[in-house]
Amino acid sequence: MSEKPKLSQVLTHGRYATSFDAESAEEVYDPRKESLVRSMLTEIGEDPEREGLRRTPLRVAKAMDFLTSGYSLSAEEILKGAIFKEDVKEMVVVRDIEFYSMCEHHMLPFFGHAHVGYLPNGQVVGLSKVARVVDVFARRLQVQERLTNQVADALMEHLSAHGVAVVMEASHTCMMMRGVQKQRSTTVSSAMRGAFDANPSTRAEFMSFIRN
């Protein structure tokens, strides 16, 4: 039979170590975050020691790290190894990229789809990297408009494209579960750079791609 780990360390999302307390064999992930969650549970009138909640501080700490992992990622790092010379002049559109983010006002999720287009200027980017750049900025505390602008600006900066267009459509749970409680309203935001900003027909072509 294998011995209980005295102190084993496992990297999770490359950021924190999980350890096991030798005495209690309790998994500890990030003591400060877990203690904050325990206090929150007590404040709302719960018993953090009841069976269903005992591992909740650990789970919440891990979930928060994942949901905010964009702070430790860089669009430049993601894009720099995935840009290829290619004689393409026509618009490229990656649409319906699903994303999950959290509003900075209530720390509640907002989620939806991003549509990203660019006009290549002698080089193209690996398509998956477009979706990864959306996640770099979505996995932070955000407002939808800033998220949309950040995706557009990062792509514009690193692709040397003639233009970049981003449209995001999202449902905000802070407007659904609480507050004004509107279940069906969605928010559309856009950021147009370069040719998409300057040229109405380029913008119209992009809009026609994402509508169909």
Instruction: Just list the catalytic residues.
Output: 103-106, 144, 172, 174
Query: Does the protein bind ligand GTP through residue 143 (CB under 6 A)?
Result: yes
Least distance (Å) from ligand GTP to the CB of residue 171?
Answer: 11
For ligand GTP, the binding residues in 89-128 under the rule CB under 6 A are 103, 105
Residues 154-173 that bind ligand GTP (CB under 6 A): 172
Nearest approach, Cβ of residue 12 and ligand GTP (Å): 28
Bridge partners (DSSP) of residue 188 are: 169
CB 114 within 8 A of CB 99: yes
Instruction: Note whether 145 binds ligand GTP by CB under 6 A.
Output: yes
113 annotated to bind ligand: no
Counting contacts by CB under 6 A, is residue 174 touching ligand GTP? yes
Closest CA to 125 of 89, 86, 96: 86
140 contacts ligand GTP (rule: CB under 6 A): no
Helix (H) or strand (E) holding 116, with range, is strand 109-119
Three-state SS annotation for 36-51: HHHHHHHHCCCCCCCH
User: Taking CB under 6 A as the rule, does residue 21 contact ligand GTP?
Assistant: no
Quickly count: other Cβ atoms within 10 Å of residue 30's Cβ: 20
207 three-class SS: helix
Residue corresponding to tokens 């404040």:
43
Residue 188 burial (C-beta neighbours within 10 Å; 0-12, 13-18, 19+): exposed
Query: Which residue is listed with tokens 């979930």?
Result: 63
Number of residues located near ligand GTP, criterion CB under 6 A: 10
Asked whether residue 174 is marked as a ligand-binding residue, the answer is yes
DSSP 5: P
Minimal CB distance to ligand GTP: which residue? 179
13 is annotated as contributing to ligand binding: no
Interface segment toward ligand GTP; rule CB under 6 A; list 4-12, 26-34, 152-160, 175-183: 175-183
Interface residues toward ligand GTP, by CB under 6 A: 103, 105, 143-145, 172, 174-175, 179-180
Please give the annotated binding residues, written as ranges. 103, 106, 174
Binding-site sequence positions for Zn(2+): 103, 106, 174
